[in-house]
Amino acid sequence: MLGELHMPRYVHVPTSATANLIRQAYEAGGRYQWAREAWRNSEESEATVIHFGIEEQAAETLGVLRRTIMDDGKGMEPTDLKDFLTTFGGGGKPIGMDENFGQGFKSSVLPWNPYGVVVISYTEVAPDGAMLWIYRDDEGNYALKEWMATDENGEFVSYTDVVTPFVDNEHGCDWGRIRPSWMTTGTIMVLLGSGPDSNTWMGDPSRGETTDDLIRYMNGRILTVPERNGQAIETTIIDLYAKRSNERRDTKDKTVALPDGRTMVWRPRRVHGLKHFIPESAVKGTVAVDSHGTQVDWFYVPEPHPAVGGTSDYIAQRPAVVVDYQGEAYHSDSSKSRYRQFGITDEIMNRTWLIVRPPVYSDTRPTQWGVLTQASRHILISKGGRELPWEEWGDAFYNSFPEELAKARDAARASTSSHSDPSMAKNLARILDRLNPRFKASRVLSSAAGRILGTPTGAAAGAPAARGGRAGSGSGAPGGAGGTAGPRQILVPNASGKLAGATAQVRGGYPAFEWKDFDSEEAKHLAHYVKNDSRVIDGTEYRGVVYLNSKHPVFVQEFVHWSNQVWPKADPAKVRQLVERVYGEEAVAHVVHAQRLNGTLVAKSEDGAPVVMGEDDVQSLLEPMALSAALLGLINVEQRVLTQGGGLFGSRATQ
């Protein structure tokens, strides 16, 4: 008969597996993750000073430049210090989905410091300091270095892995002298790299880290440096440069003479956090973007203040879209594609910051949606392991687009050199007629009998037109709240809206097209489609814009061919306008057709399950490269240009 077990057997990780877990976590992390982890540990220790320095003694005696990380926090008692360094999944702090995972600093720093990391901590109980040295042994496992302990007669007593800081001639320093004058209690970490002569002050060499980028990373990762005792935590990073002999004045920064005769200047750089670099001149606001409580804070620097373009200097931070997770910026992105998701056009993106603030997922609220960080603390995911809902956030922001940003966008757009067909509404009417009635857009329109509340966009739905006619001008007057005596207004669904509406299949909302000079970032593309952009032309709103690259060699060759070879006697500007219009209409047709494929049954699998094109499939058809490919080698476009040009410019010139 089996007896009752009094002590269950718990899951544990063998020592031989720990190195692999650490390596996997390291690979999942990003550049400078070690700096973030060290800073967070120091901040949580109630430090008022966090200093990323360089150990000066080894620099002067051996010419070795080792990165140090110091703080004046509470410090760690010897037992806690040992747990912090040797326990993968712990370190004396809470562990949970919205807390720590107990592996951050170890997994981000140990793989590129196999020779070791020295940690010295000072507390009220251990005012002389407790020092440990963790390293990777010949078998690839991580262990604490041991020293011989002797009695007062110098006789061997035992081995110990916790010692008082001592003079270490082999490594060119007195470990006790690293402690700065401003530290009473606190912790010091010294990164030793791959050997006794390794320079670690720049960071992880396998990832090409540099001190300049470390400073930029920290200023971009921390949103706002927390305050302690009414003052922001003083966070500094020491940078180095060689003092030039022809400098006209001595630097005020500290200098250190290396054994090879060089004099290095120790220059402190201050970390202020991302929000510090948003100019005070910025106007700001907040937009709610989902039902879970996610909000987007926006900041815009208006004219005539200069735009913030970013420089090589760490002080000038470039505007970005970031996600705020517990005071840190994740998924920082300054790309055009990210801004366009929110309706922030190219003209104003270098003046605009967006900070997305979703709810944090917590073990205490398991049924509520939120975001959480992966164990590496490098990226965020949604509850259930899904990617962040960027498309949904962007669409919601665009549907409630701030008036200040809309005015700035329109003003900037009016002053740019980008150009569109002056008869856009008339030209697009042709393609809309050609596509109707097969393809219609679903919109929320004002309706007295509607059950959806919304706010007007300021645009009217295009009225049906006879072939060859134009879209409606929107000059009629609505017949009361939610009325329809006149063109029906396009509404944005909003629970606090004043107008009632209902969904309808209408012609308004199709994309417009615009020709512009693409910059080097997008020069390879013939076109790109921006969903969250719009034009109101002749009273009709066109949702989304297809931009075509007027500088791309394919189009340049087309302009030259039709102007020089086909109609050399015609006005080149008018010939080009014709070519641009036909290609623009073709691009719009491609986008509309692709969008209408959403939800289309295309096949059945072997087990009879339907194969349906979804939103992601449609999106792949509208990516810049896919859209560019769709505009290559179009025989029908050539024929349309030739036919329509014949009526405008006469017969084709003799070749």
pLDDT tens digits for 15-50?
Answer: 667 788 888 888 888 899 999 999 999 999 999 999
**Domain ranges within the chain, ordered by starting residue:** 29-273, 278-415, 441-506, 509-655
What tokens appear for 417 in the block? 């050199």
* Phi, psi dihedrals of residue 325, rounded to the nearest 5°: -125, 105
* 555-584 per-position pLDDT tens digit: 999 999 999 999 998 999 999 999 999 999
CA 87, CA 102: separation in Å to the nearest integer? 8
When mean pLDDT is compared across 437-441, 445-449, 595-599, the lowest value belongs to 437-441
Q: Across all residues in the chain, what is the average pLDDT? A: 82
Fold classification of 29-273 (topology level): Heat Shock Protein 90 (3.30.565)
Chain Cα centroid distance, residue 72: 32
- In 3D space, the residue among 438, 442, 333, 435 whose CA is nearest the CA of residue 393 turns out to be 333
CA 125, CA 370: separation in Å to the nearest integer? 41
**CB-CB contact of 350 with 299 (8 Å):** no
CA 602, CA 129: separation in Å to the nearest integer? 71
- Confidence band of 112 (pLDDT split at 50, 70, 90): very high
Residue 11, pLDDT score: 58
Residue 165, pLDDT score: 96
| Three-state DSSP state, 387 | coil
Residue 427's alpha-carbon distances to 433, 530, 577, 646, in angstroms, are: 10, 20, 11, 18
Residue with tokens 């921390």: 222
Name the more confident of 192 and 425: 192
Q: Could you tell me the sign of the dihedral formed by the alpha carbons of 535, 539, 541, 546, in that order?
A: negative
Residue 102, pLDDT score: 43
Residue 435, pLDDT score: 59
What tokens appear for 198 in the block? 């390794």
CA 254, CA 266: separation in Å to the nearest integer? 5
- Determine what percent of the chain is predicted with pLDDT higher than 70: 78
Alpha helices in 240-293 (DSSP H): none
| CB within 8 Å of 257: residues ≥ 6 apart | 60, 263, 264
Report the amino acid identity of residue 505.
Q
DSSP 561: I
* 245-256 per-position pLDDT tens digit: 655 455 578 889
State pTM to two decimals.
0.79
Region 68-95: mean pLDDT is: 78
Enumerate helices (H) and strands (E) in the chain, giving the number of each. Answer: 15, 31
- Confidence band of 649 (pLDDT split at 50, 70, 90): confident
- Confidence band of 82 (pLDDT split at 50, 70, 90): confident
Residue 97 has pLDDT above 60, yes or no: no
Residue 240's alpha-carbon distances to 67, 237, 253, 263, in angstroms, are: 11, 10, 10, 10
Q: Provide Rg for the chain, Cα atoms.
A: 32
Residue 88, pLDDT score: 65
- Confidence band of 63 (pLDDT split at 50, 70, 90): very high
Residue 337's alpha-carbon distances to 415, 544, 574, in angstroms, are: 22, 14, 32
* Phi, psi dihedrals of residue 71, rounded to the nearest 5°: -150, 165
| Three-state DSSP state, 427 | helix
- Confidence band of 189 (pLDDT split at 50, 70, 90): very high
* 464-504 per-position pLDDT tens digit: 333 233 333 222 322 333 333 456 666 655 555 677 877 66
* 462-474 per-position pLDDT tens digit: 433 332 333 332 2
Residue with tokens 């807390």: 99
Residue 628, pLDDT score: 95
Residue 501, pLDDT score: 75
Residue 536, pLDDT score: 72
Q: Could you tell me the sign of the dihedral formed by the alpha carbons of 62, 64, 65, 71, in that order?
A: negative
- Confidence band of 94 (pLDDT split at 50, 70, 90): very low
Residue 422, pLDDT score: 54
CA 609, CA 589: separation in Å to the nearest integer? 31
